[in-house]
Amino acid sequence: MKLLLPLLIASSAAVLADTPNSQRTIDLGTYCYPPIFNSDAAHLHSCPSEDLDPRYTTGPTTPPRARKHKKQPRATWDKIGPCLRGNATDPDSTEFCVYYSSAVGGPNRGIIVLTEAERADYILKYPAFHDPEVAESMAGGTGLNKFTPKAKVVPIPGKEYGVVATETIFKGESIIAETASMLVDYSPVYKLPQKDVMRLQAFGLEYLPDAHRERVLNMSTHGSRLDVVHKLEKVLVTNAFEVKVDDDNDNGLYALFADSYHWDYKTFTQYATAIRTIYPGEELTVSYINGLRPHHKRQSGLRRSWGFSCTCPVCSVSTAQISASDARLKQITLARRALADRTPSSPATPQLAEMLISLLEQERMHILMGEAYAYAALEWNGVGEAWTATRYARRAIEEEVMQVREEKGEDIEDMMDLVEDPWEHWSWLWRTRKRMNWKPLRDAKKKEIEEAVEEAAVEVEAETGSGGEEGTQKEAEETS
């Protein structure tokens, strides 16, 4: 299930202002419309009954579906409401509510979810809501919701603030593991007027603890000075990323984070890991866009969506270097397409996979190295080079585990199977068999290897003197 999760991750790296003291007052039985917030803080106003919007309700009137996962603990939402139907005159139309749980990230953080009743009930099955130790165990480094002490926030010309390393951060080190603060379903975005979605989002923000709510509002809006309703919307537009969970709902979610990392839907946590060694003075960067696009499209996309141009070393090069880089990016795209093609007509070879690795190194696209190593492993195994395939499979496992924080996932398990027995792996001589229609080859090669292993075992047994009484008697004669 795709979710438009505005995963609000307001990490220490995103706290750019002092937290003001504020008194909150929430009357869950009273909703003013419009507006329900004042201009300088996310506070609800009590309002006369004649000003109430009858479309809003204090809680859901649509019952959640029956739970299918009865063996798991029944987590509950701490707070629910307000709610609003997609069609106020149709009692059967989808009803959207604000849900809040303090279980995710601990009582000093919590998570807001804007969705409908059935999906809200489904979301509660994840370990994030009933087993917080799972996220903590995967966090590594300094722990959950704590930023690495090896970096600091500094002003960056052209884009407000950035994070710069103060000490060497080695490849594989955890930068941050941070739980989501807000999750927004795409469905209400499609079915409700924008002003209603914005107000529901802002109401949900009021459930967060004071300090964390202020961290969220301090996230970048690229200089915009707005009231809370519009400021939160700007924060979401600037910082949110689409994420997924595993239900059958086709609607996406977007999540609001201060940065983009690896998203784990079981723990509702984003993980950031150093994918290469980062030296003191270097900026820690996260790609907001598709790095395979040409230079001019990357820059225009950043300016349009986030309000700044990239000034990293890859982007700040001469016109000639940009042209050469764009050509490499095009070839990377073609190589990946060929390597993913498992038909007999595919031009993929082990050498093409190694060229892909070289191109990615030139472009410093370390995030794709795990995929490239996996392609190399499959291609070498596909032509009968088991040990070369094993070497690349080991590299692929290292890269993928480092990024996803667990030894699971289809790609990782596939590489582990190859490492365990490349000759029994599905990819053994697969390119050769497809292109040559050489079906007996696998069985013949397997028999040849088994015979060689058996002969080697006999030789080892003879050399170690474990050949029975004759071997023992011969050793005794030689000793005397």
* DSSP result, 232-295: HHHHHHHHEEEEE-SSS--S-EEEE-SS--EEETTTTEEEEE-SS-B-TTPEE----S-TTS-H
pLDDT tens, per residue, the chain with 480 residues: 444 333 433 332 222 222 233 333 333 333 343 333 333 333 333 333 344 456 666 667 666 554 454 555 467 888 888 888 877 777 777 888 888 888 887 767 888 888 888 888 888 888 777 776 665 555 555 566 677 889 888 887 766 677 889 999 998 888 877 778 888 887 766 777 877 887 887 787 888 888 777 777 766 554 555 555 555 555 555 555 555 555 454 444 444 443 334 556 667 777 778 888 999 998 887 776 788 899 999 888 888 877 777 877 788 889 999 999 999 999 999 999 999 998 888 899 999 999 999 999 999 888 899 999 999 999 999 999 999 999 999 999 999 888 766 556 678 899 999 999 999 999 999 888 877 765 555 566 667 777 777 888 788 777 766 544 444 454 444 444
Q: Map tokens 């204090």 to a residue.
A: 58
| Amino acid occupying residue 354 | E
State the Cα–Cα distance between residues 346 and 357, nearest whole angstrom. Answer: 18
On whether the pTM is more than 0.75, the answer is no
| Residue of 354, 402, 345, 403 whose CA lies nearest to 374 | 354
What pairs with residue 32 in β-bridges? 52
DSSP reduced 3-state for 191: helix
State the Cα–Cα distance between residues 249 and 251, nearest whole angstrom. Answer: 6
Tokens at 206, concatenated: 């009021």
> With contact defined as beta carbons under 8 Å apart, do 96 and 192 qualify?
yes
Q: Map tokens 């009692």 to a residue.
A: 91
Question: For residue 193, how many C-alpha atoms fall within 13 Å in the half-sphere facing its CB?
Answer: 7
| Residue of 351, 371, 350, 349 whose CA lies nearest to 360 | 371
> With contact defined as beta carbons under 8 Å apart, do 112 and 255 qualify?
no
